[in-house]
Amino acid sequence: MTLTIRFSLLGILFVLLLLFAWACEDSNNNVITSNGPVTLTWFTPPQNLEATQLATFPVIAEISGVNAYDVDSVKAVITDASGGEVAQFQLYDDANAYERFDALEFCSAYSGDVVAHDGKFTRQINGQFAPQTGDYDFTLHAWWDNSTQEADPVTVTVAESVPPLLSDLFFPISLESGFDPIQINLKAIDPDTIFGDYVTDVFMKFYAPQGVQLDSFYLSSLGGDLYGTTLTPDINIGLVTDTYIFAFWAKDAFNNLSDSLGIQVPVENLAPLLDPPQFEPEVALPDTYMFVPITVPAWDDQTIADVDSVNMLSYKPDGTYANDGLPIPLNDNGEFGDLIAGDSLFTINAVLYDTSLTGPYIFTFWARDLAGNATEFIIDTLIVTDP
């Protein structure tokens, strides 16, 4: 009996140890583990920095081949052109969870890291470390398990850079419902003579009358100082007719942002249009039941994507409405009698039984777009006769 109990206790202990091992293994599912040679690289290297700018920008180092939990420290050392050390700072793999009190004016208090223990170490910095303008090398160092590794340096220029300038905006004075595609463009220049400073991005933001941002677009280089993009009528999808704001900015290689260049433009969105309904005008009652396909072509100036719904009412020969008088939706989704999704043909299969009423069925059709605009009603009649 004693021996049996001892084996039972040992068995329980073994099971507990096994469960503990499983739990530990599961808790480390997202941890970067050792799987080969250790490499240390810049995932997001430091960029050129404006000397007086206080905003910070993320730099990210990535270490692989070692368990992220085992990494003791990742540090960047900054040296000037003569090789003298100017500053150094820590990078963290902490999911931005902790405030860092290392008293570095050019570093963020929180790291800006996204996922803890994924092997990516982050810090946000600006150019305030530099005693003067010029080129500086950033060299990564990592320490783990009494080992260390160094990455090749990245050279960054710190300069007193001024923002880009925008001018000569070409934009239509209005965007009518269903307007023809039109190219918009403007000039963006960087007035600096600093080597490596140039316009990197030109973009547009699109705002509702209340100031809510609706969308944004990057403009492409058209050669020289000219940037542009093509506006198509689908930009009006879902918009009520009103005046909207289009604002433009440019950014340079030192992350300087230009002043905005904007324009207020009337935008028009008219209601959808319906073509005449398509169905057999007269049918006889079936022996049991039959489907009567009813199709209504619909279209919209802003493309079919702006059509929110197509509906109908059915007024029966006895003076009542089908579906308790509620709108009956037609479909353009490839289901419920519709053959092809997205072809602008909205369909429903009406069902007639041998017990259905004979006489005229008066159908009323209308459509509504995403902006709430409704078409005028179209009325048509189906005659049901005795067999």
Q: What is the pLDDT of residues 67-111, one digit of tens each?
A: 999 999 999 999 999 999 999 999 999 999 999 988 789 999 999
**Cβ atoms within 10 A of the Cβ of 197, count?**
21
CA distance 96 to 123: 9
Residue 32 has pLDDT above 60, yes or no: no
CB 343 within 8 A of CB 289: no
| Domain end residue (candidates: 267, 291, 311) | 267
Considering the domain architecture, whether residues 356 and 313 belong to the same structural domain is answered as: yes
Q: Any idea what the Cα angle at residue 287 is, between residues 282 and 288, rounded to 5°? A: 105
Residue 26 has pLDDT above 50, yes or no: no
CA distance 208 to 238: 11
Q: Find the domain containing 65 and state its range.
A: 39-159
Residue 333 to residues 39, 241, 260, 347, Cα–Cα distance (Å): 51, 28, 42, 9
- % of residues, the chain, pLDDT over 90: 79
| Domain end residue (candidates: 267, 291, 326) | 267
DSSP state of 277: P
| Domain end residue (candidates: 96, 124, 159) | 159
What does the pLDDT average to over 317-339?
Answer: 92
**Mean of pLDDT over the chain:** 89
- % of residues, the chain, pLDDT over 70: 91
Which of the four pLDDT bands, split at 50, 70 and 90, describes residue 251?
very high
pLDDT at 107: 94
Summary count for the chain: helices (H), strands (E): 1, 25
Residue 327 has pLDDT above 80, yes or no: yes
pLDDT at 35: 53
Considering the domain architecture, whether residues 197 and 220 belong to the same structural domain is answered as: yes
Considering the domain architecture, whether residues 46 and 150 belong to the same structural domain is answered as: yes
pLDDT at 36: 61
Residue 23 has pLDDT above 80, yes or no: no
**pTM exceeds 0.85:** no
Considering the domain architecture, whether residues 141 and 54 belong to the same structural domain is answered as: yes
CA distance 216 to 212: 12
CB 316 within 8 A of CB 361: yes
Residue in this structure with the two tokens 């259905």, named with its chain if needed: 356
